[in-house]
Chain A
């Protein structure tokens, strides 16, 4: 990660374009409005395409032209991806789209509009806010309120716990295995794959919690980004709980305009594939991410197709069904996530193949071995907490009415954080997007 001051101009460029686009969309009627919206979208997508996808497209062009013994005339650009670019361009686009749709009045105060795009807690990794939710809050007066400061700090504490105690600890194991897949057995790779799903979730939701909490401390309410996805029963349920600000963005601005599920089953499936593959590409300029999105969509469609037989199985299994409903999709989703984590398609394929052909024997527990215990401990704490939040919402620790219980909870969380947290874990995974 590097700080390149000139890159602030990129942000400035899109802010100016979108600010004026919003005003002119509101001022004009008919086709003119559309042109201003298109100009805004081209500016945003253009910046994204230039910085995030140019070299990816160029590499592919080189490969295709190479097959015909031709040289690619376009140069490779040595550019860095500005941090959080995918997040703030999407947030900026949602503003002009909402103004165009008439759901949001244009913001005439330039400073407030710039704040909407650059609000620091969520600038680099979301949640990708909607103007209807956040813009009006920038006009309101915010004073120090004990309840909201306390609530914000509690959310932040849980976010730090997820990032420092769980995600960064799991990263040590996952990096060791994925960094050297040829040296590990099928079981080790399977464990690392499951661990990576937890790492990804805790890393990203940890950041979201810190952002939401920091905003709350200052009196701002940001949208929720995760709803305990690993307790989701089925793929559709997992996705309805995962990265909500992005999934709803794609739903509102891509899936619905494509026709959503109004034009029959086949069109719905087509729309889903488009959305999931573009969503994959949003995560990173690599075929790995496209395949990742494609595979997730495949399982989503399969779940939809086999809805009836699945219901019968659930009915036949009785109360035990819930375990399978949660565990099976989670395991499959984790295996698909290999494409998210592995460096190349070749590595991804090697890891998946190794898992299914039961390559090697034995299990690697990490170096030092005690690291593995911390990983398991972290996952158990996470699951216990989320199961309580989902099924037993009355059981609360940070939110308990009794002060002694509440403070014990805080002290316990901070103690564990200091005692087994990883304090050199590096940046958040989603910062790279």
Chain B
């Protein structure tokens, strides 16, 4: 063999070994600090994944994260609460983490916040990268996530298994930031948004054409079934959006079908006129702190009125559900 070829492969091998060591070494340091983050999104998520022992658990995307103030529920219902929602997530993600809610204890109620296009998400149409970034750090410790990654992002899974550094891609700045922060803007998973960026009146949002993803529908059904199988009351809520009332989207129709099958209530506030005001919205799809407070109070009162988190009602609800099945 040519001397130059031998020299090249020898040096390539040396470099590969160096990179392997650096990858494992730096990757392990990142992993350590990632898991030790005292606050921030990842810390809240770690709680949602490992130890959600609170009485009321909220699931949903950023719309849930910025809406449900756990303190209001605790004050109003006398129960502990935790917002397990996560920015830029969707039903596929919630379905992957719901089983954690029943590992150490059983919550008294589960609230799932969905959007009018919740079931229209499809792999490959954007958002894959965000979802994979959330999931990859946990593929070695969470079987649900590994299975999900295998199904949705097989290439990403392979890359993450080869490189530990890749698993924590783009996370170093948030790890450093969260480790040195003194102020926690994450209150039991709830992150209030202040002020408003809405400068126009509500418009009609055309979501009627968005197709339903069978995969997303399957995940919603899994989520609903997991909760109802544990005889825990589940409330599915469509929180307000800053838009004019529109006909139900295919996603909403499919959601309703699935929920009806399991006798789960849908509380639809998507176009509630009481909330469609600039002062309640941070942007077109997120309530601000003022809107979030008001909406949390409304939901807490309704839960109280309906006795949803009352122990007896929980038993009655589950008995009824079993009878109907």
Contact = CB atoms under 8 A, between A and B. Distances in A.
Contacts of A109: none
B199 to A, nearest CB: 8
Contacts of B23: 415, 418
A120 interface: no
Contact of B4 (A145, A410, A424): A145
Contacts of B18: 407, 411
A340 B8 CA distance: 43
Interface string B150-191: 000000000000010110111011100100000000000000
A183 B197 contact: yes
Contacts of A368: 174
Given A150-B8, A415-B26, A370 B170 contact: yes
Q: Which of B129, B168, B173 is packed against the most chain A CB atoms within 10 Å? A: B173
A374 B176 CA distance: 13
Main secondary structure on chain A at its contact with chain B?
helix
Interface in A146-171: 146, 149-150
Contacts, number: 60
A421 interface: yes
B22 A146 contact: no
Contacts of A402: none
A146 B166 contact: no
A370 B174 contact: yes
Contact of B165 (A374, A407, A418, A424): A418
B240 to A, nearest CB: 20
Interface in B3-31: 4-5, 7-8, 11, 14-15, 18-19, 22-23, 26, 30
Interface residues of A, number: 24
A407 B11 CA distance: 10
Interface magnitude class on chain B: 20 to 34
Interface in B63-112: none
B2 to A, nearest CB: 6
B19 A411 contact: yes
Interface string B111-138: 0000000000000000011000000000
Contacts of A421: 169
Nearest to B168: A419
A149 B8 contact: yes
A143 interface: yes
A375 to B, nearest CB: 11
A163 B5 CA distance: 29
Contacts of A183: 197
A214 to B, nearest CB: 16
A304 to B, nearest CB: 44
Nearest to A417: B165
A314 interface: no
Given A144-B8, A149-B8, A407-B15, A419 B165 contact: yes
Nearest to A418: B165
21 contacts: A144-B2, A145-B4, A146-B4, A146-B7, A146-B8, A149-B8, A150-B11, A374-B173, A407-B18, A410-B15, A411-B22, A418-B163, A418-B165, A419-B26, A419-B30, A419-B165, A419-B168, A420-B173, A422-B170, A423-B129, A423-B169
Interface of B: 2, 4-5, 7-8, 11, 14-15, 18-19, 22-23, 26, 30, 128-129, 163, 165-166, 168-170, 172-174, 177, 197
Given A150-B8, A374-B170, 18 more contacts: A144-B2, A144-B5, A145-B4, A146-B4, A146-B8, A150-B11, A371-B170, A373-B173, A374-B173, A407-B15, A411-B18, A419-B26, A419-B169, A420-B170, A422-B170, A423-B169, A424-B128, A424-B129
